[in-house]
Amino acid sequence: MSQHLCYVWLLPLLESPYESVAANLPNALAELDIKHPLPQAVDLRQLLLTALESDSESWAQCAVIWLETGFPLDHELCETLLHQVSRKRFSQSIRHRLTPLGKRWLRQHRPTT
């Protein structure tokens, strides 16, 4: 099973607050009661990438909430969310929440010359 498909089974984690999932990931995974094989080490960053690349409005909404409540952005997450915004696959309200997150991260991480 590909890594991307493994994370699809984990998308319901995004329905819980980021802080509670991050604080006790083993318990959060157990509550999902998934019978399919999971990745060896669950990467919450990969979970967000899966949500943003899914073209699902509801998973994108959950990903936005996680990002707004402190999930750390990195270059790949930032590029992915800005790419999805440019594709206009999500509602205007989600795009208007994702755009400032991505642009702020890019400004803060601009290389100094």
pTM of the model: 0.88
Q: In the numeric block, which tokens belong to residue 2?
A: 């590909």
For 82-110, write each residue's pLDDT tens digit: 999 999 989 999 999 999 999 999 999 98
Integer Cα distance of 31 and 69 in angstroms? 22
105's CB contacts (< 8 A; 6+ apart) are 73, 78
Closest CA to 61 of 102, 112, 95, 106: 95
Per-domain boundaries in the chain = 3-108
pLDDT at residue number 111: 79
pLDDT at residue number 1: 39
Integer Cα distance of 44 and 33 in angstroms? 18
For 27-37, write each residue's pLDDT tens digit: 999 999 888 77
Let me know the angle formed at the C-alpha of 39 by 62 and 81, rounded to the nearest 5 degrees: 35
